[in-house]
Structure 1
Amino acid sequence: MKHVSILVPYDSVLAAIFDPRYILTAVNQFLIDAGKDPAFDVKLVGMAPQIQLSGGAFSVNTDSLCADVGKTDLVIIPALSGDMKTSIERNKDLVPWIVDQYNKGAEVTSLCLGAFLLAETGLLDGKECSTHWLFANDFREMFPNVILTDGSIITETGHLYSSGGASSYWNLLLHIVEKYVGREMAIRASKFFAIEIDRKSQSPFIMFNGQKKHEDEPIKKAQEFIEQNLTERISIEDLATRFAIGRRHFIRRFKKATNNTPAEYIQRVKIEAAKKHLENTRKNINEVMYDVGYTDVKAFRTVFKKITGLSPIDYKHRYNRDSAA
Structure 2
Amino acid sequence: MKHLSILVPDDRSGPNTVACIAGTYHAFTEANKYYGTLGRKPVFKMELVGLSKRSELVNGMLMIQPQASISTIRKTDLIIIPALGGEFLEKNFVDEKVSAWLRGQYKKGAEIACMCTGAYMLAATDLLNGKSCSVHWKSAESFHQLFPEVQLKIEKLITDEEGIYTNGGGYSFLNLLIYLIGKYYDRQTAVYCSKVLQVEIDRQTQSDFAIFSGQKKHGDDMIRKAQEYMEHNYDRKISVDELSKELAFGRRTFDRRFIKATGNTPAEYLQRLKIESAKKALESTPKTVNEIMYEVGYSDAKAFREVFRKITGISPLAYKNKYNREAAELLFMNDAN
Give the TM-score, by structure 2 length. Answer: 0.93
Residues 31 and 38 in structure 1, CA contact (< 8 A), matched pair in contact too: yes
Unaligned runs of 5+ in 1: none
Match status 1:210 vs 2:214: yes
| Residue of structure 1 in register with 2:6 after alignment | 6
Residues 11 and 87 in structure 1, CA contact (< 8 A), matched pair in contact too: no
The letter of the residue matching 1:2 is: K
Distance 1:91 1:82 in 2: 16
Q: What CA deviation, in whole Å up to 9, does each residue of 1:267-288 have, x standing for no partner?
A: 0001000000000000001110
Within the candidate set 146, 156, 173, 2:160 is matched to: 156
Match status 1:316 vs 2:328: no
Distance 1:134 1:313 in 2: 25
| Residue of structure 2 in register with 1:101 after alignment | 105
The letter of the residue matching 2:53 is: P
**Aligned runs of 1:18-37 on 2, under 5 Å?**
18-37=22-41
Q: What CA deviation, in whole Å up to 9, does each residue of 1:76-112 have, x standing for no partner?
A: 1111111124696154431101111111111111111
Per-residue deviation at 1:201?
0.7
Match status 1:293 vs 2:293: no
Match status 1:141 vs 2:142: no
Within the candidate set 217, 231, 234, 2:238 is matched to: 234
Distance 2:306 2:210 in 1: 17
Residues 132 and 150 in structure 2, CA contact (< 8 A), matched pair in contact too: yes
| Residue of structure 2 in register with 1:267 after alignment | 271
Per-residue deviation at 1:238?
2.2
Distance 2:71 2:77 in 1: 16
Within the candidate set 159, 169, 173, 2:177 is matched to: 173
Computed over aligned residues only, the root mean square deviation of the Cα atoms, in angstroms, reads 1.4
Residues 259 and 266 in structure 2, CA contact (< 8 A), matched pair in contact too: yes
| Residue of structure 1 in register with 2:194 after alignment | 190
| Residue of structure 1 in register with 2:121 after alignment | 117
The letter of the residue matching 2:52 is: A
Identity %: 47
Distance 1:112 1:11 in 2: 13
> Number of paired residues?
325
Distance 2:234 2:286 in 1: 19
Residues 99 and 123 in structure 1, CA contact (< 8 A), matched pair in contact too: yes
SS at match of 1:84: coil
Distance 1:98 1:298 in 2: 47
Give the TM-score, by structure 1 length. Answer: 0.96
Relative to 1, partners in 2 of residues 1:52 and 1:103: Cα closer, same or farther, differing over 3 Å? Answer: same
| Residue of structure 1 in register with 2:288 after alignment | 284
Residues 212 and 272 in structure 2, CA contact (< 8 A), matched pair in contact too: yes
The runs of at least 4 aligned residues of structure 1 exceeding 3 Å deviation read 33-36, 85-88
| Residue of structure 2 in register with 1:251 after alignment | 255
Q: What CA deviation, in whole Å up to 9, does each residue of 1:111-166 have, x standing for no partner?
A: 11111111111112111111112111211111111111111111111211111112
Unaligned runs of 5+ in 2: 330-337
The letter of the residue matching 2:12 is: D
